[in-house]
Amino acid sequence: MLGTFDQCWGALVRTERRPPPRAPRFGSPWPCEEEVSPRQWMERAGFAVFLRAVGAVERGVAVPGTPEELRRMCGVVAVQDDGFCGFWCLAYLLGMDLPRTLEKVTMELDSCRHLASHARAQGRHPSAEDRAWERLWNIADAKLRCLRYRGSHVDLVSCELQRRGLQDTNCFLTHAELSLLCARMCGSWTPVVEVTPDFHASEETGDHTMLALAAEGVPTLEAILCTFEIEAEALREAGWRLYEQGFRLITAEPVAEGRPSCTAAPSFEDLRRMRPLIIHLGTHYFLLESVEDVPESLNMEEALFLYCQRRIAEALHARSAELRRKAQEQRQTQDRVREEISSKEKEVANLRQEALRLQLEAEEHRQELKEQRSGKRSNSGALQKEVDHRRHQVEILKAELAKQERETKKLVEDSLSEALQVASARDLRSELQWKTELEAELERLRRSVIGP
């Protein structure tokens, strides 16, 4: 605790009047230093002090200057500083790539993205949370649509937000928006810690009263306060003199938005134990993780590669599913055709059996006809033989009949001859008898006439 300073953490540092012109890019995946303004240099120097305060860097040891060393030694997870670093931090917390994270955000916030517009339509002023959901959904949706293009998407997304009628077209998420988004998407609160050398916008307003309050007890301040009464003007003057001497106040404060109402604001000792932390430094978000759990850094090239790879995999999956569906349909069609062919083959087999049966019957019929014909031929030969036999018998009978007729005729003739002979003998006898009788009658007559 510095003097009467009652924030979570603060550090009073003194710098040279002219800070170095270059400084490392904390939280960025690019392993290089860059030219910085005095304000930017102070932000990064303040973060180095914060790392020592939370135990990420040992006292007396220089802060690593490359992203790989920061990741390995201090647990600083670098994310792409492309204007969408808040979504990159969320992607790390969700364990996803950026495109899938954006898709999940649009799906999750789809039910509440119209709450602000409904409130305006009803003449009410929308709440800050409803405005945050509206802006977050539109940024995620616009960014997701721009992923097919290479290069910076900040201007494209800003123009799209303006076209959609949003008042705030800045793509960079406020620490309140990021805290709310992470709490909703992750289901747990992840502190968003703002590390700044410009507490209460003292640089912009020129009021360095908080610097004087934080430095209470410093000999320089005591000397100043000996000539001034303890009042507001005196504190401002004291703060200004400290500022001119190179003193700066570095503060770190977890934002209150997104924190459950039942959870107290974390103390500095809590921050030393809590991981991961989302660090808000200037215009960039990145993460502070436990050293043993430090992952690889996140960068746009890997995300685009993963996005394209996932899109290709999805396209291949859809294509394979379509091919499987078509193959299934073809198999069903083939099965149906096979069934039809099998049915037709059965019908053909039945027809063949029927044809074979008819052929056998026809063959049997032909055989029967043949046998009948051969039988008729044999029967006709037997009949012919029988006829010839009968004819022969008839001839024999005729011959016997003729013989019998001859014999009968001869017999008749003989009988007639005999009968004639008998009749002749009878007639002769009768005639002799008549002649005798006649002679006797004549004799009697003669006698009667002549007398004896």
Backbone angles phi, psi at 248, to 5 degrees: -135, 150
The closest of 174, 106, 178 to 144, measured between CA atoms, is 106
How far is Cα 388 from Cα 391, in angstroms, rounded to an integer? 5
Stronger pLDDT, 143 or 212, i.e. the higher one = 143
If one compares 172 and 398, the residue with the highest pLDDT of the two is 172
Bigger pLDDT: 54 vs 105: 105
Out of 67-76, 116-125, 163-172, 228-237, which region has the weakest mean confidence (pLDDT)? 228-237
Tens of pLDDT, residue by residue over 343-391, are: 777 777 777 777 777 777 777 777 777 777 666 555 666 666 765 666 6
- Residue 274: pLDDT over 80: yes
Distance CA 268, CA 78 (A): 23
pTM of the shown model? 0.60
Question: CA of 91: how far to CAs of 26, 186, 190, in Å?
Answer: 19, 10, 13
Q: Point out the least confidently predicted range of 10-19, 165-174, 335-344, 368-377.
A: 368-377
CA distances from 111 to 27, 125, 131, 399, 405 (A): 33, 19, 13, 134, 140
Tens digits of residue pLDDT in 114-158 = 999 999 999 999 999 999 999 999 999 999 988 877 667 888 999
Q: What is the pLDDT of residue 358?
A: 75
Q: Does residue 212 carry a pLDDT above 90?
A: no
Mean pLDDT of 275-281: 89
- In the chain, pLDDT over 90 holds for what percent of residues? 17
> What would the two tokens of residue 85 be?
């670093």
pLDDT 10s digits, 397-419: 666 655 655 665 565 555 555 55
pLDDT of residue 301: 46
How far lies 136's CA from each of 25, 131, 181, 323, in Å?
A: 26, 9, 8, 38
- Average pLDDT over every residue of 332-338: 78
Query: Angle of helix 128-146 relative to helix 85-94, nearest 10 degrees?
Result: 90
Predicted pLDDT at 100: 92
Residue 173 and residue 154: Cα distance in Å, rounded? Answer: 12
- Looking at residue 109, what is its pLDDT? 95
The pLDDT of residue 6: 55
Name the least confident of 35-49, 51-65, 428-442: 428-442
Q: What percent of the chain has pLDDT over 70?
A: 70
pLDDT of residue 3: 42
CA separation for the pair 121, 237 (Å, rounded): 50
Residue 450 gets which letter from DSSP?
T
pLDDT of residue 221: 46
**pLDDT the model gives residue 141:** 93
Single-letter amino acid, residue 417: S
Q: Is the pLDDT of residue 257 over 60?
A: yes
More confident residue, 311 or 71: 71
Q: What is the mean pLDDT of the chain?
A: 76
Closest CA to 195 of 19, 50, 25, 52: 50
Average pLDDT over every residue of 246-271? 84
- Core vs surface per residue 211-234: b (16+ CB within 10 A) or e: bbbbbeebeebeebbeeeeeeeeb
pLDDT of 84-120, one tens digit each? 999 999 999 999 889 999 999 999 999 999 999 999 9
The confidence score (pLDDT) of residue 184 equals 92
Give the number of other Cβ atoms within 10 Å of residue 13's Cβ: 15
Beta carbons within 8 Å of 400's beta carbon, 6+ residues apart: none
